[in-house]
Amino acid sequence: MKHDQLDIRVGLGEDIHALVPGRRLVLGGIEIAHHAGLLGHSDADALLHAITDALLGAAGLGDIGVHFPDCDARWKGVNSRLILAAACEIVRAAGWEPINVDCTVRAQAPRLGPYREAMRTAIAEVLGIDATRVNVKAKTAERLGSVGREEGIATSAVCLLARATARVAPSDTR
């Protein structure tokens, strides 16, 4: 099959935020019990931010900073689910549909295994896809670097998009 016959695209997103005391830790659209949270303009959900960048990048529509700049008061303290949902609307308006998302969270602490399924479900709900099409992996940094010293959490995500096709209703086929 020639590449011009395939109407799919892949996007990559990455994000990193500092961990600071006194903030809630929100990752993958859910709150996680921890003594510190991520510093940022919104709720600082680095995982949803990486997915947002992956979606927008796959569609060739820039990045999170273009559409949701941290200098815009509208996004101050906002739930990043709203940012991801808005990005999804932008991507769909451009004629693309998310097919699947694969993500990695790099955090020395907290352990994320108990939250993985809730994250998958939350991400899938926002994207409007089945949770089986969302994968969330958690890795430590083996005590190396800023993540290993528990100074921050880093995330990455890859997203596959396919061109949305008009669906013909059965009554329209003659």
pLDDT at position 103 is 98
66 in a domain, yes or no? yes
- pLDDT per residue rounded down to tens, the chain (174 residues): 565 667 999 999 999 999 999 999 999 999 999 999 999 989 999 999 999 999 999 999 999 999 998 888 888 888 999 999 999 999 999 999 999 999 999 999 999 999 999 999 999 999 999 999 999 999 999 999 999 999 999 999 999 999 987 444 444 443
Count of alpha carbons within 13 Å of 118, Cβ hemisphere only? 10
Residue in the block written with tokens 């709720």:
43
171 in a domain, yes or no? no
CA distance 156 to 1: 30
pLDDT at position 24 is 94
3-state secondary structure of 52: helix
144 in a domain, yes or no? yes
pLDDT at position 39 is 94
CA distance 85 to 129: 12
28 in a domain, yes or no? yes
For residues 28 and 15, is the Cβ–Cβ distance under 8 A? no
Residue in the block written with tokens 């949770």:
131
170 in a domain, yes or no? no
Look up residue 58 and give its amino acid. Answer: A
pLDDT at position 6 is 77
- N-term to C-term CA, the chain: 30
13 in a domain, yes or no? yes
1 in a domain, yes or no? no
Domain count, the chain: 1
pLDDT at position 165 is 75
pTM of the model: 0.90
59 in a domain, yes or no? yes
Residue 101 domain boundaries: 7-163
Q: Which CATH number do you get for residue 68?
A: 3.30.1330.50
